[in-house]
Amino acid sequence: GAVVSQHPSRVICKSGTSVKIECRSLDFQATTMFWYRQFPKQSLMLMATSNEGSKATYEQGVEKDKFLINHASLTLSTLTVTSAHPEDSSFYICSARELAGDVYEQYFGPGTRLTVT
Amino acid sequence: GQNIDQPTEMTATEGAIVQINCTYQTSGFNGLFWYQQHAGEAPTFLSYNVLDGLEEKGRFSSFLSRSKGYSYLLLKELQMKDSASYLCAVSDSNYQLIWGAGTKLIIKP
């Protein structure tokens, strides 16, 4: 099956610094990628949807100037958490969508655990 | 608004059968997904239903009734490794996934 990778898997950073998370679709081209955040014991929360070559669409309540998303190619999307604060500590998961016949298949990366101290 | 409902937590015994229900109200429907998520890991795909009926995959089966806005995930011959959260998600008219809060399944020996 299709594979989505994320890097890094874990990152600890100091408050006020920026962190970049990469998401790659390894064996397929993803015209659309999604970024989710998951707090402990909660479901996935969609942060933004990005289409290759265009600006990301952010969900209500997600600060686009704080969570910068770049979908530069059909296989790479990056999420940069700028000026991170402890409340940004969370599990960030990317997902890539592929059209398989008549069905959109969505595959998830392994996630990135961000801890802001 | 869009809404996905599933039980918060369920407990079952090893070797038994458990059914996890999911009801939904969404703007449009392009399929329903079930995912399994172990603690600290990303979700993994279990099943996809777009037509009414039962889809069987080994120990797991998923059922859909579009007229009732209802699905269930059936797990047979439960194993301890099946202890996880099970997430129901519906693809809406824009092919966005709308997520349920997940059902935490606890398997007891």
Instruction: Scan for tokens 């959109």, then name that residue.
Output: A104
pLDDT in tens, A79-90: 999 999 999 999
Task: Look at B45 and A107 and tell me if their CB atoms are within 8 Å.
Answer: yes
Residue of A104, A109, A110 lying closest to B91 (CB–CB): A104
Query: Over its length of 109 residues, how does chain B's per-residue pLDDT go in tens digits?
Result: 788 999 999 999 999 999 999 999 998 998 999 999 988 788 888 998 999 999 998 999 999 999 999 999 999 999 999 999 999 999 888 777 888 989 999 999 9
Q: Which one of A36, A106, A107 makes the best mutation probe of the B interface by having the most chain B beta carbons within 10 Å? A: A106
C-alpha angle A82-A84-A107 in degrees, rounded to nearest 5: 75
CA B96/CA A22 separation, integer angstroms: 21
* Numbered residues of chain B with Cβ closer than 8 Å to any chain A Cβ: 30-31, 33, 35, 40-45, 48, 50, 87, 91, 95-97, 99-102
Hey, is the C-beta of A103 within 8 angstroms of any chain B C-beta? yes
pLDDT category, A1, cuts 50, 70, 90? low
Those of residues 8-67 in A touching chain B at CB distance below 8 A are 34, 42-44, 46, 49
Q: What are the start-end ranges of the E strands in B1-109?
A: 3-5, 9-13, 18-25, 32-37, 44-49, 53-57, 60-65, 70-75, 84-91, 97-99, 103-108
- Contact at CB, B91 and A91, closer than 8 angstroms: no
pLDDT in tens, A43-90: 788 999 998 888 899 999 999 999 999 988 889 999 999 999 999 999
Q: How far apart are CA B72 and CA B60, in angstroms?
A: 10
- What is the separation of C-alpha B51 from the centre of its chain, rounded to a whole number of angstroms? 15
Separation between Cα atoms, residue A110 and residue A115, nearest integer Å: 16
